[in-house]
């Protein structure tokens, strides 16, 4: 088992396949983009698979592929096919633009859980947030997944004055769709101009929802390692949840590890420290001790961040370079 000093077992690995993305979401990527690096800086297909095999040998039971946008990587299908041979649950997080090209691959590889980013139900606002014009394609692809009976989670980062007026619209959207909408508090990363004055808390979102839907709001059971607090509206096909990483974190049950596209391991999304697994592996070193040491040193709460002021002082990558 991969365990830390607080007795948290880590069996869920998120692997970023690329730092590249075909959107430019303001909360994820700086407006000017990020510096492109040589392909040799990043894990090859074989290295991704070897890394995954090592983590699985240490007890990882679930792997989620992220980016950037993982599906812009030219060998994404081959990576999915290779990872599907491992004894794990395989999932993916995507912005949805290229989903139509991969549905058959997902099905053949046993990928049933797909997270899709969608921060607005309004086309003009979506285009403004993403700085691109893909709203119709993304929403059509989400519907194709639903038609194909995939388990679909739709992630929406809620920012005050941007899309917080759509929280109840998203909840209403679950009435006739078997989709799980997840509202995510605005989190600080390099280049996204974070300021909690732009944030919308769990409490504020629930106040909006309860004001609109009243006694029809139903609290659902949360899984042991859930990052979200889950709810439904009576007689709705779908459900919704809130991920409150800033105001009400879930660190005491965290089971997640992140591996960046350039082979650096992060034991926490908010951690400013990283462990370079790729360089060690290319040098022929055993990376298992590095993995175990990194997780053992994991902080009790949000990478050591305890106050809002600490958030403003932290040094971390851009979100697009970490992996969602």
User: Is a pLDDT exceeding 80 seen at residue 155?
Assistant: yes
User: What CATH class has 12-322?
Assistant: alpha beta
Q: Mean of the pLDDT values across residues 170-182? A: 97
Is the model's pLDDT at 323 over the cut of 90? Answer: no
Residue 192 has pLDDT above 60, yes or no: no
Whole-angstrom distance, CA of residue 178 vs CA of residue 237: 5
Please report which confidence band the pLDDT of residue 225 belongs to, taking 50, 70 and 90 as the band edges.
confident
59-63, 88-92, 211-215, 296-300: least confident range: 296-300
pLDDT band at 278 (very low <50, low <70, confident <90, very high): very high
pLDDT of 100 > 90? The answer is yes
Cα(286)–Cα(322) distance, integer angstroms: 23
Residues 59-70, mean pLDDT to the nearest whole number: 95
Averaged pLDDT, 209-227: 94
Average pLDDT in the 134-155 region? 97
CA distance readout (Å), 322 to 65, 256, 261, 263: 12, 13, 8, 10
> Where in the chain are the domains?
12-322
- In tens, the pLDDT along 283-315 reads 999 999 999 999 999 988 766 666 666 666 666
Residues 253-276: what's their mean pLDDT?
91
Q: What residues contact 73, with CB distance under 8 A and at least 6 apart? A: 17, 18, 20, 67, 79
CA distance 103 to 106: 5
Q: Bigger pLDDT: 272 or 223?
A: 223
Global pTM reads: 0.91
Residues 23-48 pLDDT 10s: 877 776 666 666 778 889 999 999 99
Q: Report, as an integer, the average pLDDT of 265-274.
A: 85
């Amino acid at each position: 088992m991969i365990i830390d000093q607080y007795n948290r077992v880590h069996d869920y690995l998120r692997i970023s396949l690329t730092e590249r993305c075909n959107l430019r979401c303001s909360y994820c990527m700086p407006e000017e983009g990020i510096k492109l690096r040589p392909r040799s800086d990043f894990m090859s297909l074989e290295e991704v698979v070897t890394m995954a095999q090592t983590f699985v040998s240490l007890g990882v039971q679930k792997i989620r592929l992220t980016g950037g946008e993982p599906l812009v990587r030219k060998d994404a299908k081959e990576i999915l096919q290779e990872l599907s041979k491992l004894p794990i649950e395989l999932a993916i997080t995507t912005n949805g633009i290229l989903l139509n090209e991969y549905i058959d691959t997902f099905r053949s590889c046993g990928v049933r859980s797909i997270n899709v980013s969608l921060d607005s139900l309004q086309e003009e606002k979506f285009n403004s947030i993403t700085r691109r014009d893909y709203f119709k394609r993304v929403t059509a692809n989400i519907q194709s997944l639903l038609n194909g009976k995939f388990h679909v989670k739709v992630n929406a980062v809620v920012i005050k004055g941007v899309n917080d007026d759509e929280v109840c619209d998203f909840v209403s959207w679950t009435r006739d769709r078997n989709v799980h909408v997840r509202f995510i508090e605005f989190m600080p990363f390099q280049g996204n101009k974070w300021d909690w004055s732009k944030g919308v808390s769990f409490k504020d979102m629930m106040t909006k929802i309860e004001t609109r839907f009243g006694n029809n709001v139903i609290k659902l059971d949360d899984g042991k390692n859930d990052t979200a607090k889950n709810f439904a509206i009576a007689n709705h096909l779908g459900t919704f949840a809130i991920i409150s990483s800033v105001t009400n974190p879930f660190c005491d049950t965290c089971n997640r590890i992140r591996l960046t596209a350039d082979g650096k391991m992060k034991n926490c999304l908010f951690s400013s420290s990283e462990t370079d697994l790729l360089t060690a592996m290319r040098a022929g070193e055993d990376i298992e001790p590095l993995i175990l040491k990194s997780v053992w040193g994991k902080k009790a709460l949000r990478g050591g961040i305890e106050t809002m002021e600490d958030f403003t002082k932290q040094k971390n990558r851009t979100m697009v370079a970490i992996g969602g």
